[in-house]
Amino acid sequence: MFIYYILSALVLVLTFHSQECQTAHAGKIIGGHKAVAHSRPYMALVECYGANGKKNHCGGFLVSEEFVMTAAHCKAESYKVCVGMDYYSDKDKLCLPVKHDFPHGKYNKTTFTNDVMLLKLSTRVIFNKNVKPIRLADMNDPVPKTCLVSGWGATSNDNNNNWMSDKLMEVNVTLIDNDLCDEKIVYCSAGEKRPGQGDSGGPLVCEDGKAYGVISAKAHGLQLYKYTKIPDKMEWIDELMKLN
C-alpha cells in the first residue's frame, strides 16, 4: 500500500513537459522506427508560441475538418498546426493558425486529470490522401491492448532536448492493468519502448485503427506512461464540436 501511494504521487506530478507548451521541448519516440510515408494522415504537429514568441512543440491529431486534439497541458499563448507531412521539412505540408483553444473544463494542472484539449483551426482543412481525420473510440469499443504512438523528436535519451527529428517516428506499446491507472481513469503502458518528453498530445491508436487516448504523463524512473481516455470524454468532445 505504501508503494502504491508513492507511485501515485510520482505519476500525478510528472508530465512529458511542463504545464504550458511554450516551456516544452521537442518530443521523443524511444525504441521506435520511421513511420511509412504518409501512413498516419491524422498526425499533426502543434507549434506552440509563448508570450515571448518562443516556439516549441506538442503532438496532435485531426478529428474533423476544423478540430485537432492534443493535451490540455500543451496550452500556449498561440499556436500553428501543421498537417499532411511525413518529414518536418516537407514543402507541401499545410500549417494553419488556431482560432480558439478548448482545454477540458475539468482539467487539473496539479494532477493532470482530464488532460485533453481541442484546437479549432482558423480554416477548414481539405482532406486528401495525406490529410485525414482519425476515428475516435467510444464506450462501446472493447478495451484495447496493443496500440501505437507517433511523433517527431529526438529518438534516444542521448539527444539534445531542443533537437527535433525531421521524420515521423512510431512505436508499439502494450497497455497494462494497474490499480493507479484504473483509479485515475487513464490507460497506461510500461517498458523501454515508449513516447517521451514533448510527445504529449499525440494519439494512442489501437488495433482497430481508432484513437483511444491522448499521450499525457509519465512516472519518472518507473517506466509508466499515462494516456487520457478518449471514450470517457466523447460527450464533452461531441458537444464542444457541435457548439463551436
Contact indicator for 33, 165 with CB cutoff of 8 Å: no
CA distance 115 to 78: 18
Q: What is the grid cell recorded at 109?
A: 494542472
Residues noted as catalytic = 73, 115, 200
